[in-house]
Chain A
């Protein structure tokens, strides 16, 4: 397969979020209410014209407000007629006088409404859509849709095939970026199209029984390295987001082309397939400019962006599809639990940095190659956590899928003073010295075979006072099995007769953000070769236990219904757990073995649902 697919989405909005904010913030001299409506539809027309001029088909997502605006309705019909654009639906852009009168709310975020309002808004807007266009929409969307909302829509309107169901890695970082006022707390989902689980929309479905019935797409396609330590809202297929990040000079934004090209490059890791979604809200192209950037550049950046896709289309390198066309294509070509994978390279920070992302129905894993290939983020999809969000739920605004490792929110390889941060890495010991492989920068290469994907971390050199050791790390992901074989092989020794100890460990925790969560009730266990189990309930008492010949070490984090287990693939290992304490709130388990030249420790790391 060789398929790079593009969906461009526009929405006719009558009061775009950002124009609205600007107007309230004192630009009313320039932007009156009626002018805002007029300008907004003009922007929609402009976006449509730019895409069509470059031969790109669009998906028009009708907002609640636009379903009551004759001009917007007529525009959608005309574009559909002339260009084959899909007339679709969105839960964005609900706010207008009619909405406030009908529902009595200023809430703008569909996923945050109380349940009874969600139900009413779905029914009212879908029925209004039918009344206006004579058919029900087959695609919809919001910044986020939880499984409960998707399941309800599918039950009432089974013709819906696809939805913009999340914004990749919009969470605490984006929240902070917006002065703690943009409530898209949605970390933890896939970065490209997936079939969501019936239980939890972030998680990729297990199988046909677990299929929610839609193909979900993220709101934008983002830079997978840029999002790790930066808000994603500066690093996506959205020219004005790149401008927001100041990654441009005059009207030149080469990064936006690099991003598209990197999405083409990652076809290599996805059986020849890759996908881009472009969805620029009209508020980003207002006449008054956006922050320090004038309208001229906002407009030109969109023209340049669409022109590039247009060029790729003429060269046969991209296929433009409406959202529904894409959903049909995805269903015909991809499995319900299709793994997604990317070895991503830096094109902007001027480094050799790389990261590797893998996700399937059991977990989403992020590996940071500059940390010697340590795992820096784990989302345990195997537990298929039910996490309804919105008013009246316990999660409320916090719609993220919880992590069990997040090295930036929870310390990672570097802590101030004491304890250890959350990370999955390995330590080497020799002659009383200890080095964490996360101190050794590297890069990766990719291999795949039937049912498995593999990341090989290029060997790094650990320098002890009297010994140099070269170690090669590898991760073999068994697709949808919930296991990773992690290899640490000694490929070089300055003294070929020397032995070094390898300590394969994980320091885990749970949560959705920076603050520690309570670990009371978690369990840690070492099971030795005779089946004897030494286990404790977590109580911040810094207890430790080790067995010389361990069959497995494991930890259960009941708050996220997750069990993690490490077992030696073959041969004996010392196994241990370390409880941690309040200033070091983590659960640590590990397996150790002495290795000589050309010897390898392979451990099987499993992530399972714990009931």
Chain B
């Protein structure tokens, strides 16, 4: 079997990313496949990219822009007048 090399794009193992480990994949030219030397993940570029997309699901607000005012106002609804005192989230 051929030696694994860093691919044209240096992808990190998507499965290792899920447990917050940055681990570079190697590319096996003969099998046209990336593989991880730490865990047992192997797959093609499409599989990497689709798992990266899943990884990003931990950031629902990834594309949301919060201004200073919005940050300061966030979660302060409970203190606005008219809300019963001591209600709060439950």
Query: Which residue of A22, A27, A177 is within 8 Å of B22 (Cβ)?
Result: A177
Is B86 touching A459 in the complex (CB atoms < 8 A)? yes
Q: Could you say which interface size class chain A belongs to?
A: 35 or more
Is B59 touching A289 in the complex (CB atoms < 8 A)? no
A441 in contact (CB, < 8 A):
yes
- Cα of A346 to Cα of B62 in the assembled complex, Å: 11
Q: Write out the residue numbers on chain A whose beta carbons fall within 8 Å of the beta carbon of B9.
A: 289, 292
A458 with B63, Cβ < 8 A, contacts A246-B56, A347-B71, A440-B90 known: no
B89 in contact (CB, < 8 A):
yes
Q: Majority SS of interface residues in chain A?
A: mixed
Which of A430-460 touch B at CB < 8 Å?
Answer: 440-443, 445, 458-460
Is A445 touching B76 in the complex (CB atoms < 8 A)? yes
Q: Write out the residue numbers on chain A whose beta carbons fall within 8 Å of the beta carbon of B62.
A: 247-249, 254-255, 348
Query: Which residue of B24, B52, B60, B63 is within 8 Å of A252 (Cβ)?
Result: B63
B32 in contact (CB, < 8 A):
no
In the complex, residue of chain B having the shortest beta-carbon distance to the beta carbon of A257: B65
A228 in contact (CB, < 8 A):
no
Quote the shortest CB–CB distance from A564 to chain B (angstroms): 29
In the complex, residue of chain A having the shortest beta-carbon distance to the beta carbon of B90: A461
- Cα of A591 to Cα of B52 in the assembled complex, Å: 48
Give B3-16 as 1s and 0s: 1 = Cβ < 8 Å from A's Cβ atoms: 00110011110000
Question: 12 other contacts beyond A178-B22, A291-B24, with CB at 8 A cut-off?
Answer: A25-B6, A179-B22, A254-B63, A258-B71, A265-B68, A292-B12, A347-B64, A347-B71, A352-B75, A354-B75, A459-B88, A492-B86
B30 in contact (CB, < 8 A):
no
- Cα of A254 to Cα of B62 in the assembled complex, Å: 7
A238 in contact (CB, < 8 A):
no
Is B68 touching A261 in the complex (CB atoms < 8 A)? yes
- Cα of A354 to Cα of B55 in the assembled complex, Å: 22
Quote the shortest CB–CB distance from A269 to chain B (angstroms): 11
Is A249 touching B63 in the complex (CB atoms < 8 A)? yes
- Cα of A26 to Cα of B3 in the assembled complex, Å: 12
A201 in contact (CB, < 8 A):
no
In the complex, residue of chain A having the shortest beta-carbon distance to the beta carbon of B65: A254
* Most central of B23, B63, B68 by chain A CB within 10 Å: B68
B78 in contact (CB, < 8 A):
yes
- Cα of A349 to Cα of B65 in the assembled complex, Å: 13
18 contacts between A and B (CB under 8 A): A26-B6, A27-B6, A176-B20, A179-B38, A230-B20, A246-B52, A291-B11, A292-B12, A347-B66, A348-B62, A349-B60, A350-B59, A350-B60, A440-B90, A458-B78, A459-B87, A460-B88, A461-B90
A268 in contact (CB, < 8 A):
yes
Quote the shortest CB–CB distance from B47 to chain A (angstroms): 13
Is A289 touching B10 in the complex (CB atoms < 8 A)? yes
In the complex, residue of chain B having the shortest beta-carbon distance to the beta carbon of A250: B63
Is A262 touching B20 in the complex (CB atoms < 8 A)? no
In the complex, residue of chain B having the shortest beta-carbon distance to the beta carbon of A255: B62
Which of B10-60 touch A at CB < 8 Å?
Answer: 10-12, 17, 20-24, 38, 52, 55-56, 58-60
In the complex, residue of chain A having the shortest beta-carbon distance to the beta carbon of B10: A291
Q: Write out the residue numbers on chain A whose beta carbons fall within 8 Å of the beta carbon of B76.
A: 445
A345 in contact (CB, < 8 A):
yes
Q: Write out the residue numbers on chain B whose beta carbons fall within 8 Å of the beta carbon of A349.
A: 58-61
- Cα of A178 to Cα of B12 in the assembled complex, Å: 11
Q: Write out the residue numbers on chain A whose beta carbons fall within 8 Å of the beta carbon of B10.
A: 22, 27, 289, 291-292
A-side residues, CB < 8 A to B, are: 22, 25-27, 173, 176-179, 230-231, 244, 246-249, 252, 254-255, 257-258, 261-262, 264-265, 268, 289, 291-292, 345-350, 352, 354, 440-443, 445, 458-461, 470, 472, 491-492
Query: Which residue of A177, A179, A348, A445 is within 8 Å of B59 (Cβ)?
Result: A348
Is A173 touching B75 in the complex (CB atoms < 8 A)? no
Q: Write out the residue numbers on chain A whose beta carbons fall within 8 Å of the beta carbon of B89.
A: 352, 441-443, 458, 460
- Cα of A349 to Cα of B59 in the assembled complex, Å: 5
Q: Write out the residue numbers on chain B whose beta carbons fall within 8 Å of the beta carbon of A252.
A: 63
Closest 10 CB pairs of A and B: A350-B60, A458-B88, A461-B90, A443-B75, A459-B88, A265-B71, A254-B65, A491-B86, A347-B66, A26-B6
- Cα of A252 to Cα of B63 in the assembled complex, Å: 8
Is B22 touching A244 in the complex (CB atoms < 8 A)? yes
Which of B64-90 touch A at CB < 8 Å?
Answer: 64-68, 71-72, 74-76, 78-79, 86-90
A350 with B90, Cβ < 8 A, contacts A177-B20, A262-B71, A345-B74 known: no
- Cα of A246 to Cα of B89 in the assembled complex, Å: 31
A261 with B66, Cβ < 8 A, contacts A350-B60, A350-B61, A492-B86 known: yes
In the complex, residue of chain A having the shortest beta-carbon distance to the beta carbon of B37: A179
Query: Which residue of A25, A176, A247, A261 is within 8 Å of B56 (Cβ)?
Result: A247
Q: Write out the residue numbers on chain A whose beta carbons fall within 8 Å of the beta carbon of B20.
A: 173, 176-177, 230-231
- Cα of A153 to Cα of B59 in the assembled complex, Å: 43
- Cα of A268 to Cα of B72 in the assembled complex, Å: 9
Quote the shortest CB–CB distance from A496 to chain B (angstroms): 14
Q: Write out the residue numbers on chain B whose beta carbons fall within 8 Å of the beta carbon of A291.
A: 10-12, 22, 24
* Most central of B22, B23, B58 by chain A CB within 10 Å: B22
Quote the shortest CB–CB distance from A85 to chain B (angstroms): 28
Is A246 touching B55 in the complex (CB atoms < 8 A)? yes
Is B61 touching A348 in the complex (CB atoms < 8 A)? yes
Q: Write out the residue numbers on chain A whose beta carbons fall within 8 Å of the beta carbon of B66.
A: 258, 261-262, 347
- Cα of A176 to Cα of B21 in the assembled complex, Å: 6
Quote the shortest CB–CB distance from A373 to chain B (angstroms): 11
Quote the shortest CB–CB distance from B14 to chain A (angstroms): 10
- Cα of A268 to Cα of B71 in the assembled complex, Å: 12
Quote the shortest CB–CB distance from B64 to chain A (angstroms): 6
Q: Write out the residue numbers on chain A whose beta carbons fall within 8 Å of the beta carbon of B63.
A: 249, 252, 254
